[in-house]
Amino acid sequence: TDGALEFRGRIVVPKVEALRKEILTEAHTAPYLAHTGSTKMYHDLKRSFWWKGLKKDVADFVRRCLTCQQVKAEHKSPIGLLRPLPILKWKWEEVAIDFVTGLPRSSEHHDAIWVVVDRLTKDAHFLLVSMSMSLDRLAEIYVRGIVRLHGVPVTIISDRDARFTSRFWQSLHEAMGTKLAFSSTYHPETDGQTERTIQTLEDMLRALVVDRGAKWESLLPYVEFAYNNSYHSSIQMAPYEALYGRKCRSPLYWDDVGERRVLGLKLIEETAEQFELIRQRLRTAQSRMKSTADHHRRDIQFEVGEHASLRVSPFRGVVRFGKRGKLHPRFIGPFEVLERVGDVAYRLALLP
């Protein structure tokens, strides 16, 4: 064995940090090993090498590997406790927006649905759009489809790039012919409202297309009606009922609504009671959701000056970090934490 010290058929590696690091590096980063996990790497190494603390050194080496941090899927609980968005006091003050894309192009050149949801009443509008439309055009559609019915929102929440939301606000100002700077609150997260709405929308639309065989855009008004007049578990009533105080009349349930003559002070009192009931139900639903989610999360916070990696997704339009699709790193960095923004967001020192 060329004078090497052996222990039970394995080479004993002396306590020389550079030598041990070279062995660990070769056993982990060589192309024919391709960044195996710590367990596999340890079992491979212990067949040929021995030193005290080998297993711990392997685990520490793999844990500190920057490439592994950037590309490997996490199998730990998500970091950070769930922080639900605040319960609102009035309808259509805060809206969540998202897009359903990839639809067959219609005769009117529409290939997407713009989903706009009121976070309090869960009332939703589904607007026909094209993903090639400019922000100015989208702002015009928003004014015609939303603002004329519900006014201008205080806050817009979107999972899309924050720059998209900022530019949309500017386009909305211009579409309304004002130079006043509407204030908007920044939220780094959403409550998942649009994701659930989109899932329901797609299921309803798919079912109608299969049943009716009609073009999808002609069925969208029926889907919107069905969604807004269907029971919503978090508020324990239909969005239409939450918005207007009673269910919407439909052909099947024509007599359910009946004739209501509520006027003056009594109408105001009933409306106030209705919204307090909705807020209470939303608080209960959020509390239950937070309790369940936090059971599977880790409460980790970063301090200014520490370093953290940033999770990115090629499907969110993060062009500056490359265009390698599924081969794109899951994380980039690490970057220095410059500032804490609110309760759950941080400003990082990104590369120029």
In this structure, are 140 and 284 located in the same domain? yes
The reply to whether 84 falls in a domain is: no
Is the same domain home to 119 and 213? yes
Contact 121, 235 (CB under 8 A): yes
> What are phi and psi for residue 315, nearest 5 degrees?
-90, 0
**Within a domain: residue 1?**
no
Percent of the chain at pLDDT > 70 equals 66
58 and 128 belong to one structural domain: no
The pLDDT value given to residue 181: 45
Residue 102 maps to a domain: yes
Between β-strands 6-7 and 94-100, what pairing exists: parallel, antiparallel or unpaired? Answer: unpaired
Q: Which pair of structure tokens corresponds to residue 66?
A: 């920057």
- Write the CATH number for 179: 3.30.420.10
Cβ atoms of 123 and 117 closer than 8 Å? yes
123 against 250, higher pLDDT: 123
Mean pLDDT across 283-294: 64
Of 291, 319, 339, the one marking the end of a domain is 291
- What's the confidence (pLDDT) of residue 52? 93
Cβ-contact 321, 345 below 8 angstroms: no
- For residue 93, the tally of other CB atoms under 10 A from its CB is 16
DSSP bridge partners of 337? 348
Q: How far apart are CA 329 and CA 322, in angstroms?
A: 9
Residues in the chain: 352
pLDDT of residue 47 exceeding 50:
yes
Neighbours of 120 (CB within 10 A): 23
Q: Are residues 227 and 172 in the same domain?
A: yes
Q: Does pTM top 0.85 for this prediction? A: no
Rounded to whole angstroms, the Cα distance separating 216 from 103 reads 9
Contacts of 48 (CB under 8 A, 6+ apart): 10, 11
Question: Are residues 41 and 181 both part of a single domain?
Answer: no
- Do 131 and 272 have their domain in common? yes
**Per the domain annotation, does 283 fall within a domain?**
yes
Mark whether 257 and 316 lie in a shared domain: no
Report the C-alpha gap between 322 and 328 in whole angstroms. Answer: 7
Residue 80 lies in a domain: no
Tokens at 155, concatenated: 């806050």
201 contacts 128 by C-beta, under 8 angstroms:
no
The residues that bridge with 158 in the sheet, in sequence order, are 97
Whole-Å CA distances, 160 to 10, 16, 71, 282: 55, 50, 22, 25
pLDDT surpassing 80 at residue 323: no
Residues 54 and 139 in one domain: no
The alpha carbon torsion through 225, 228, 233, 236 (nearest 10 deg) reads: -120
What would the pLDDT profile of 48-80 be if each residue is shown by its tens digit? 999 999 999 999 999 888 888 777 666 555 555
- Domain span holding position 256: 94-291
Is 236 inside any structural domain? yes
**Domain shared by 148 and 184, yes or no:** yes
Helix/strand/coil for 24: helix
Q: Are residues 114 and 250 in the same domain?
A: yes
Where do runs of H (alpha helix) occur along the chain? 17-29, 38-45, 54-64, 66-71, 135-142, 148-150, 162-175, 193-212, 216-228, 239-244, 254-257, 264-294
Q: 81 lies in a domain? A: no
DSSP string, 221-275: HHHHHHHHTS-BTTTTB-HHHHHHSSPPP-STTHHHH------HHHHHHHHHHHH
Report the domain count for the chain.
3
Q: Give the model's pLDDT for residue 183.
A: 42
Last residue in a domain, options 291, 318, 336: 291
Task: In whole angstroms, give the CA distance from residue 284 to residue 84.
Answer: 12
Strand order in the sheet with 345-348: 307-311, 331-341, 345-348
Note whether residue 50 is domain-resident.
Answer: yes
Same domain, 327 and 239: no
* Weakest mean pLDDT among 21-25, 90-94, 231-235, 278-282: 278-282
Question: Do residues 189 and 246 both lie within one domain?
Answer: yes
